[in-house]
Every structure is written in C-alpha cells, then in structure tokens.
Amino acid sequence: GAGVSQTPSNKVTEKGKYVELRCDPISGHTALYWYRQSLGQGPEFLIYFQGTGAADDSGLPNDRFFAVRPEGSVSTLKIQRTERGDSAVYLCASSVAPGGGTEAFFGQGTRLTVV
Amino acid sequence: KQEVTQIPAALSVPEGENLVLNCSFTDSAIYNLQWFRQDPGKGLTSLLLIQSSQREQTSGRLNASLDKSSGRSTLYIAASQPGDSATYLCAGILNDYKLSFGAGTTVTVRA
C-alpha cells in the first residue's frame, strides 16, 4: 500500500483479555517502530525492528507486551491480560532504514480501550 | 534521556496570521528533528525533517529551523488557514531511530 496501515482502527476489549494489533509498513521499509500515545501526550517509544529482529524493546512496559515481525514486513503487537491502563492509541511507523536522516511515516493508529 | 518540550500547549489565532510553534530539547547531540501534524483521532503526518547538518527546511507555507547549540527548533506557518487547525508535534532523534516526542501544540485558526 501507499502508506502504513494499521488494523483494527478501534478495539474495545474486556480487562484480562488478549489482543493483537497489526501493522503493515510501507513496502520496502526495513525499519518498523511501535509507539503508544496516551490522551494529551506525545507518543512514547515501545519497540523497534530492523528486519525480522527486535533491535530495541526497551520501551515495552512489562512482559505482558510482546511484538513480532516474522517475515520482516507485517508486525503484530500482542498484549496479554489487558489492564485498563493499557488504554491508549498504539501507533506504528516505518522508515526506509534507521538513521541517515530517513523520515519516519506513521499509520493512523489503533485506539485500544480496555473496559 | 532526551526531553522535548513544546510551548505553548495551545494557540488560537485569526485566519491569515503567521504561526510560530516552539520546540526545545535537552540533548544537543540530537541527530535529526522531525515535525508532525496530528488531526483529532488520527495518526501522525510528517511535515518536515531537519537533519543535524541543516539549519532549516521549507515546504510550501511551512518553514522549520533547528539550532542545536540552543536546543531549539521553531516551526513557522505563514498565512494560517482554518485547515491548519491541528496538533503539531516535534520529535528529536538521538540514536538513529528512537523518536522522543513533545506533548504537542494544539492550534486553532479562527475563520
């Protein structure tokens, strides 16, 4: 596709349930990032993939959060045993490569609401 | 850790007035700085990317400057229009890939 695609656009789940959020980056972009944005705040870094591997997962808040990118393209962010505090907009971004002045392009986000 | 601050948090101007949005950061070893626009309930749209070797970038009515020594970037929007109403976010990159965002400035342009 022409841009970064995220599905679903909205997700409402009950506390304790498992959710998966999907990101389809721009074709040819090797770098993929997940960010989380709470209301009234700027996005906060969660995890960065270069190809298939997670090069930096230091932003994941705890071990309930996990992300994969098995074929170096589509990525899935997985949240186990969801809590109300996980409610936020989850943003995915991709770039041609990390660094070198490359621009990051963001998707429309998935708004997660845990009730 | 890179701290990014945007002041003011909100700004309201009449149509036609020039906009000046400020962004400050704590670590002058910044690699790049990127400005984004976010409409309510939407994702981020990249506006301008300034590399550390550059002092400014321009695109249409938008101009962004970068002063690493003072830890500041400024986004200028000339002749504002109601369609410019949105939240504008700046983000600095320290280590090649991790963006550190400010909380944004919410702009309202009154017709």
Tokens linked to A70: 């098995």
Non-local CB neighbours of B36 within 8 Å, separated by 6+ positions:
A106, B44, B45, B46, B47, B88, B89, B90, B91
Q: For residues A27-53, give the mean pLDDT.
A: 93
CA distance B15 to B110: 5
Least confident of A9-13, A53-57, B56-60, B77-81: A53-57
Minimum-distance CB partner of B98 among A6, A45, A106:
A45
Number of other CB atoms surrounding residue B111 within 10 Å: 8
| Residues in chain B within 8 Å Cβ distance of A55 | 97
Interface of A with B (CB under 8 A): 4, 6, 31, 33, 35, 40-45, 48, 55-56, 91, 93, 95, 98-101, 103-109, 111
Split at pLDDT 50, 70, 90, the class of B27 is confident
Mean pLDDT score, A16-31: 96
- Rounded-to-integer distance, Cα B105 and Cα A58, Å: 27
Q: Work out the minimum CA distance from A1 to partner chain B, whole angstroms.
A: 16
pLDDT band at residue B97 using 50, 70 and 90 as cut-offs: confident
Say if residue A1's pLDDT is above 80: no
User: Which band of pLDDT confidence, cut at 50, 70 and 90, is reported for residue A103?
Assistant: confident
Across the interface, which of B32, B98, B101 has its CB nearest the CB of A42?
B101
CA–CA gap between residue A43 and residue A36 (Å, rounded): 5
